[in-house]
Every structure is written in structure tokens, then in C-alpha cells.
Amino acid sequence: MARVVRFHKFGGPDVLQIDDIPARAPGQNEIRLKVVAIGLNRAECLFREGKYLERPRELPSLIGYEASGVIDAIGEGVTGFEVGDKVSTIPSFPMSKYGVYGDYCIVPAISVSHFPDNLSFEQAASIWMQYLTAYGALIQYSRIMPGDYVLITAASSSVGYAAIELTKAKGATCIATTRAQDKKQRLLDAGAHHVIVTDEEDLVARVNDITKGHGADVILDPVAGPFIKKLAEAAASGGVIYEYGNLSLSDTPFPMFQALNKGLMVRGYSMFEVTSKPDRLERARNFVYNGLKSGALKPVIDRVFPLEQLADAHRYMESNVQHGKILVKV
């Protein structure tokens, strides 16, 4: 039997429940993991509420994108992996079918990756969503380089911290935003060149000051909503705003005037643009793997909950007080 987390109806954190169900054998091109750690993502909160890009067709539904663990069984047709390998999962599958919350999970072999030896299981469950999301926008598409100004909103999130690391790794200037003063120091410690506390400071004035009137070349934003107008004002001519989420849950206006004036681009973006193309994923995976191995990249971990407190872990994520990744240990 496996202890698998499912939800039988859409709703708040309390709909998550641990069900004891028989552990099935992995099918063709599938791998089964004995899970050690699970990394949480906003995507799962939205998924649990039925508000995510993927909406399960039937309930109960599995849930969860990121786990690390040890390979326990291997299906037909899988190459490159052996039982006993330490691996973690790359979110490139439907959660309703392959969700990883639980003590065992089954995922497609293409969604499994080894991780460098210098990483703990907790760190290994904190890699792929955050680094691949930031990588696709900043490196694959925008090819950031020294001289570029990169504005990262909601910077205390796991993707935010990953984006700070990637921006610094590429030699660009990193401007992080957070709503709360008490998060500022941690962001500076993590390497942000500048931190703007948006509840207290004028974003546009500060960005103009920092960039000497140039504006932000690349903006990575998971919040969306009306604040996009300020982001557009803070953007450089020819700049791009990546919207990779809609945490505001508000309608988002297209900032027409600024866009026409500056040739601005507003782009919906998700990590699946990276993970759905094998060649892109391989390039991204190598970049991240090497960065982790060398120590240039190091996942920021906030807090670890036991599996039995998964609902609390979801509540904690939604409270927005975290710095970096929230984990569950099985």
C-alpha cells in the first residue's frame, strides 16, 4: 500500500487528504520513486482549487510536481536509470495523472533527473520548477547579459530567489521587489543588487533612479493585475514583461500607451515552454545541473513540514511569509 495525497473536491488546504491505496507498478516508460522530500509550488494551490492551467477531469485527483527520492521500480522501455538511483522530478506531466505528493509516486521517465551529489534530498526537491521557470524567461528567451537590468517581483518566492541567482550568474543587474520591509535584508543577502519595498517606495521612481532613466529591460512577474501599469512605466524601451502567474487573481490590463510608446512586449509564460521541448529541456537541465554542482546555484529553503501537516504547509505558502522553498519530508 502507498500513502498518497489526493483531493476529493476542490477547495482550501483542508481538502488534501492522505489515502492508503495500492501502489501500482510503473508502466511503459514510467518510473516509481520512494519519495523522500516534496517541494511545494503555488501551482499546486491553484490546482487544488480548480484554478490552474490543468484542471482534473475527475476527482479524486493526485497532486504535486516536485519530489526527490530513490528509484524503486522501473517500467519497460526506460533507459539511463537503475533501481536505487537518487533522483528528482521535473514538472512536465499532468498532475492529475502523475501527482507526486505521497510516499511513493509514479512519473514518466522523461520527467526524472539525477541531481548532483552535493545536494540533499530537500535541496533536490527544490530545483526544477524554480530554476527552469527563471531560466526559460531570463536566459533562453531574453538572453540576459551584463548591462541588462532585470526586475524581479515577488522576489521572496522560490522562483524569485532562483531568478536572482540566475541574473547574478549572467552578470546582469538584479532589482528585486517585495511588499514588506522585513524581507528586504534576506533578498540583499541572497544577492539582489537592489531591493524595492513596494508598500513603501515608488517603484517607477526607484527603477528610474537605479537604471539612470533607462528602465528595466526584463521584468519577471507572477502577480499580474493592475500593478502591470507600474511595471510598464518602469520598463525600458523595447523591454519585456513576463507574466508567469496571476497571484493577484485580478484582471490584468494591457498597458497600451506605454506599450506603443516603448515597443513593450507582455508575454504569458510558463515553464512548460521549456519542459515540453526535449532539446530545450536538455540545454536548460545541463545549465542548472552544472550551476548546482559548482555551487553557483543553491536552492533557498524556508521550512520543512511532515507529510501529515501538508495542509498546514499549503496554508503557510498562501500566507506569503516564506523565503524560498517550502518542503514536505516524507
DSSP 257-302: HHHHHHT-EEEE--THHHHTSHHHHHHHHHHHHHHHHHTS----EE
Give the position of cell 536566459. 139
| CB of 263 vs a second copy, minimal distance in Å | 5
How does strand 301-306 pair with strand 325-329?
parallel
Q: Give 256 or 321: the residue with its C-beta nearer to a second copy.
A: 256
Residues 269-288 that bind a second copy (CB under 8 A): 269-270, 273
Residues 39-98 that bind a second copy (CB under 8 A): 53
When binding is defined by CB under 8 A, the residue of 145, 180, 265, 321 that contacts a second copy is: 265
Q: Give 242 or 287: the residue with its C-beta nearer to a second copy.
A: 242
Identify the H or E element spanning 12. Answer: none
Determine the interface stretch with a second copy among 119-127, 207-215, 252-260, 307-315 (rule: CB under 8 A). Answer: 252-260
Which ranges of 81-223 would DSSP assign to H, the alpha helix? 95-98, 121-124, 128-135, 158-169, 184-189, 203-210
The answer to whether 159 contacts a second copy (rule: CB under 8 A) is no
Cβ–Cβ under 8 Å, residues 11 and 24: no
Q: Give 38 or 271: the residue with its C-beta nearer to a second copy.
A: 271
The answer to whether 243 contacts a second copy (rule: CB under 8 A) is yes
Backbone angles phi, psi at 122, to 5 degrees: -65, -45
Residues 208-227 that bind a second copy (CB under 8 A): 224
Q: Give 216 or 328: the residue with its C-beta nearer to a second copy.
A: 216
Residue 139 one-letter amino acid: I
Contact residues: a second copy, CB under 8 A: 53, 224, 228, 238, 243-246, 251-256, 258-270, 273
